Structure 1
Amino acid sequence: MATPWQCLCLILILIISILCQASSIQLPSKNGARYLSIFWSSNRTLSVSPKYNYETKYFQQKLDHFSFTHLPSFRQRYLINTQYWLGPSRLGPIFLYCGNEGDIEWFAANTGFLWEIAPRFGAMVIFPEHRYYGESMPYGSKEEAYKNATTLSYLTAEQALADYAVLISELKRNLSAQACPVVLFGGSYGGMLAAWMRLKYPHISIGALASSAPILQFEDLVPPETFYNIVSNDFRRESTSCFRTIKESWDVINKVGQINGGLAQLTKTFHICRELESADSLTNWLESAYSYLAMANYPYPTDFLMPLPGNPIKEVCRKIDSLPDGASVLQRIFEGVSVYYNYTGKVNCFNLDDDPHGMSGWNWQACTEMIMPMASNRTTSMFPEFYYDPKSNEEQCLKDYHVKPRPTWITTEFGGHAFKSALKAFGSNIIFSNGLLDPWSGGSVLKDVSDTIVALITEKGAHHLDLRAATAEDPDWLLDQRSSEIKMIRDWLDEYYGEKKATFSM
């Protein structure tokens, strides 16, 4: 969200993303959508305790699938579980999650829906890791892989999709399971990949569940103010006074930051570990928190992005509104944002550039092909007003990576303009699921395109909530959404098995 993806994711995220300063689906910056890079609290480290059983394996991948140049290969990590798989003789299905911008174990731990439905389908479960994230590093290490534009040039969605296509094809061949149907899953950027893979490699899978997948967040397909308007509406829905306090805070922060000793004062007020160099860095940090709170506005406590209470925006606004009369705007904002950055109360100070989930590669993707225009309208948004400036975005990317963004490449590669007619003519078996509390829902598909490309919408859902594990606190509308998804997946498989049976009986 705001120099803060930055998931479906999250995506969202969400991304979140889930990332250094400025970046789900994990956040948009004023110069473009670095939407999955996250600001984290100090001393937070990634610790994923596997909730589900799987083997960790590695597959030797080509660095460049689209040339015959001799380049070094790399080891792609993937997680696999065959405990409930019916096997090739019974055409057991394969459920493949399209790994997104971060450590694959993190996504596996937060995609309980996939693990929970696998037994009833007799499915194999596979979580391949996205190249340049987690342990799937070309050139042997992250330092080498991220060295410059030449080594990073193979970090693209197209290469990642080719990785998944090659991996699943080889695994099926090795297991004599060529006839076993594959169903794709993904949230946020992973949901985008699942939808795009279904369209680009229709022979690889029979269907895709794309949750919180903002495939229309490019060029002018949706208004650039959409993301921040939804975040703002989430806060205004809880409390108009909370909304107004946040809206007022930006001018206060800027004024304090400009006075002598002001940055030191802001550093102290917000418990930042190192003295702020500018008010903008604090502004970005706050924007990121509000955006991720909207993504993770789940009805029960979670720790997907940060340890958070249920309905966290409600708790933020309660903190902001409950301080006694006379409390300053900055005091109120600090109490509120602490719900996101320090709900456990264990953090003494905040570091603005932690990246525990290894998502900083998204900054590169957001400077090359993932160009998602973002803007904020002062009338409809609680955020500072700004406009998307492609020239400024290009200058920043040239400075950071010595590359120029390609803002029209995603729509050229995967479509977007007149997407309804295109998907209706050439696509099938895709579920676009979205919760309208999720700011990334505004860039997703919110209406049915055809009988087989459908949109499942929930008013109170947040970033790819449907992909999370079932809990005792799940509301009825979430249970209904998941039931609909299960039924559609069952229908895809029944149709596939019916066609196979007809073929064999001919």
Structure 2
Amino acid sequence: MHSSIASYQWLLHIFTVISSLQVSAARFNIPRLSPTRGTILQNPEILSATISKDFQTFYYNQTLDHFNYRPESYSTFQQRYVINFKYWGGGAGADANAPIFVYLGAEEPLDGDISVIGFLTDNAARFNALLVYIEHRYYGKSIPFGSRKEALKNASTLGYFNSAQAITDYAEILLYIKEKYNARHSPVIVIGGSYGGNQEQTCSEMVMPIGIDNTTMFPPDPFDLSNYIDDCKKLYGVSPRPHWVTTYYGGYDIKLILQRFASNIIFSNGLRDPYSSGGVLEDISESVVAIHTVNGSHCLDILGANQDSDPDWLVMQRKAEVEIIEGWISKYYADLKESNNRSCTQNKRKD
């Protein structure tokens, strides 16, 4: 339990950009909105042909279960991640400690994200950034147990499909990359939209008590937890834990928690996105800020920029986000320099 909390805090304290960060499905009949609009959910080959040769695919030998010590917990699977080295200043030389931009995969194969999520490539040259894209476990080519059929066949194999495991997957891969490429002191910008890893999880940890009352054009369908639990048992053999997310991550008072314990986060929302109603729409502190636009839609700001068709308000939204990130990185470098100078002074005193 301690290691899971530590890895979660580690990801929170590296620099983060979160676009339209709402869980994208509540009940089985509520549509999910992925950043790529679900284009390749069933056919990951549709967009893969458009991926530039600058992107190199790697596989990390990932631990199946980060939180237990049973023999089966030490089983591994191949988790896919993709790197673009084109713009990176590298871990040494004039551009030492250049930043790393990371996209955390959504509830689909990684292929479409690479083609569509343009915020990273659009801004990489400005920061000399290394670009990293990590696929969420149980999607695309990052499937435990050898095949999707085996991975999803029963509650025992589905038990490893949850957000805590996924967050720790990301932490392991990022630490490995920083070590491998001599980037120990490179700041990390994490970018994500919606939630990576939904579906089966609405029957475990992502229980959203959303129903339909009699004030809409739709037939009334009030949320009933007992029926919800029964449906999950029938579909997956899993009993939901309705309060596990807030127990594990906190969230009873989001504003107070983020104000006390979080830093360097942008909550970006377009108010035409129906899930923005559950988003953070007001600044919480100097470094935990909310940016929203009246006409924006789901994850629009992290998609690729189009100089010919992007409206002025979208251009300004992205510009504001980039300038905030630039400020974070500048402060990080200043703090790093001060820390190094302090260490040098202490070493001289010892000598």
Distance 1:26 1:432, change over 3 A: closer
Q: Name the counterpart of 2:225.
A: 390
Partner of 1:455: 290
The answer to whether 1:420 aligns with 2:288 is no
Structure 1 Cα separation of the partners of residues 318 and 38 of structure 2:
31
Specify which of 286, 296, 299 is matched with residue 464 of structure 1. 299
With over 3 angstroms needed to count, the CA separation of the structure-2 counterparts of 1:418 and 1:39, relative to structure 1, is closer
How many angstroms apart in 1 are the aligned matches of 2:268 and 2:223? 27
1:492 to 304, 328, 339: 328
Answer whether contact 2:60 2:173 (CA < 8 A) is retained.
Answer: yes
User: In the aligned structure 2, how far is the partner of 1:384 from the partner of 1:117?
Assistant: 46
Partners of 2:228 and 2:162 in 1: how far apart? 19
Q: Does 2:135 match 1:129? A: yes
- Equivalent of 1:76 in 71, 76, 79: 79
Q: Per residue, is there more strand in 1 or in 2? A: 2
**1:429: which partner in 2?**
264
Match of residue 163, structure 2, among 157, 160, 163: 157
Deviation digits for residues 165-202 of structure 1, max 9, x if unmatched?
00010111112211111110000004xxxxxxxxxxxx
Equivalent runs, 1:285-296 vs 2, <5 Å = none
2:298, 2:181 → 1: CA distance? 35
State how far apart, in whole Å, the 2-side matches of 1:481 and 1:39 are.
Answer: 21
Q: Which residue of 1 aligns with 2:64?
A: 63
| Structure 1 counterpart of 2:82, one-letter code | L
Distance 1:479 1:57, change over 3 A: same
Runs of 5+ in structure 2 lacking a partner? 1-17, 343-351
Amino acid in structure 1 at the alignment position of 2:249: F
In structure 2, what residue type is equivalent to 1:100?
A
Amino acid of the structure 2 residue aligned with 1:365: Q
Superposition pairs of residues 353-364 of structure 1, within 5 angstroms: 362-364=198-200
In 2, are the aligned partners of 1:433 and 1:455 still within 8 Å (CA)? yes
Confirm or deny that 1:444 pairs with 2:274: no
Counterpart residue identity of residue 88, structure 1: G
Provide Cα deviations, 1:48-86, integer angstroms capped at 9, x if missing partner. 133443001100000001112233200000111111111
The one-letter amino acid of 1:57's match is: F
Say whether residues 1:372 and 2:205 are aligned partners: no
1:308-329: CA deviation from partner (whole Å, max 9, x where unpaired): xxxxxxxxxxxxxxxxxxxxxx
Instruction: Tell me the C-alpha RMSD between the 2 structures.
Output: 2.3
Q: d(CA) in 1 for partners of 2:290 and 2:302?
A: 15
The residue type equivalent to 2:114 in the other structure is: A
With over 3 angstroms needed to count, the CA separation of the structure-2 counterparts of 1:100 and 1:93, relative to structure 1, is: same
Asked whether the 8 Å contact 2:205–2:245 carries over to 1, the reply is yes
Alignment counterpart, residue 478 of structure 1, candidates 293, 314, 318: 314
What pairs up with 1:274-353 in 2 under 5 angstroms?
none
Give the Cα separation in 2 of the matches to 1:367 and 1:33: 13
CA offset digits 1:94-134 (Å, max 9, x no partner): 01111121101111212111111011100000001000000
1:441 aligned counterpart, secondary structure? helix
In the alignment, what sits opposite 2:239? 404
Partner of 2:220: helix, strand, or coil? coil
Quick check: 1:50 aligned with 2:50? yes
Distance 2:199 2:270 in 1: 26
Q: Secondary structure at the match of 2:71?
A: coil
CA distance in 2 between partners of 1:165 and 1:125 (Å): 16
CA distance in 2, matches of 1:413, 1:446: 23
Taking only the aligned residue pairs, the percentage that are identical comes to 41
CA distance in 2, matches of 1:135, 1:86: 29
Q: Summarize deviations over 1:218-261 as a string: whole Å, max 9, x none.
A: xxxxxxxxxxxxxxxxxxxxxxxxxxxxxxxxxxxxxxxxxxxx
Counterpart-to-counterpart distance in 2, 1:27 and 1:466: 21
TM-score (norm 2): 0.84
* Higher CA-based Rg: 1
Which residue pairs with 1:276 in the alignment? none
Classify the secondary structure of the residue corresponding to 2:272: coil
- In the superposition, relative to structure 1, how do residues 58 and 152 fare at CA in structure 2: closer, same or farther (>3 Å)? same
Which whole-Å deviations, capped at 9, do the CAs of 1:310-367 have from their partners, x for residues lacking one?
A: xxxxxxxxxxxxxxxxxxxxxxxxxxxxxxxxxxxxxxxxxxxxxxxxxxx7331010
Amino acid at match of 1:165: A
What is the CA–CA distance in structure 2 between the aligned matches of 1:393 and 1:497, rounded to whole Å? 49
Residues 440 and 11 of structure 1, relative CA distance in 2, 3 Å threshold: farther
Give the gaps of 5 or more residues in structure 1.
1-9, 14-23, 191-360
Q: Distance in 2 between matches of 1:407 and 1:34?
A: 20
Match for residue 111 of structure 2?
A: 105
Change (3 A) 1:377 1:425: same
Contact 2:23 2:198 in 1 (8 A): no
1:86 partnered with 2:58: no
Label 1:473 to 1:34 Cα distance change in 2 as closer, same or farther (>3 A).
Answer: closer
What is the distance in 2 between the residues matched to 1:453 and 1:39?
A: 27
Q: Which amino acid aligns with 2:150?
A: E
Instruction: Pick closer, same or farther for the CA change 1:39–1:485 going to 2, 3 Å.
Output: closer
Distance in 1 between residues matched to 2:310 and 2:37, nearest whole Å: 28
Contact 2:19–2:268 (8 Å) recurs in 1: no
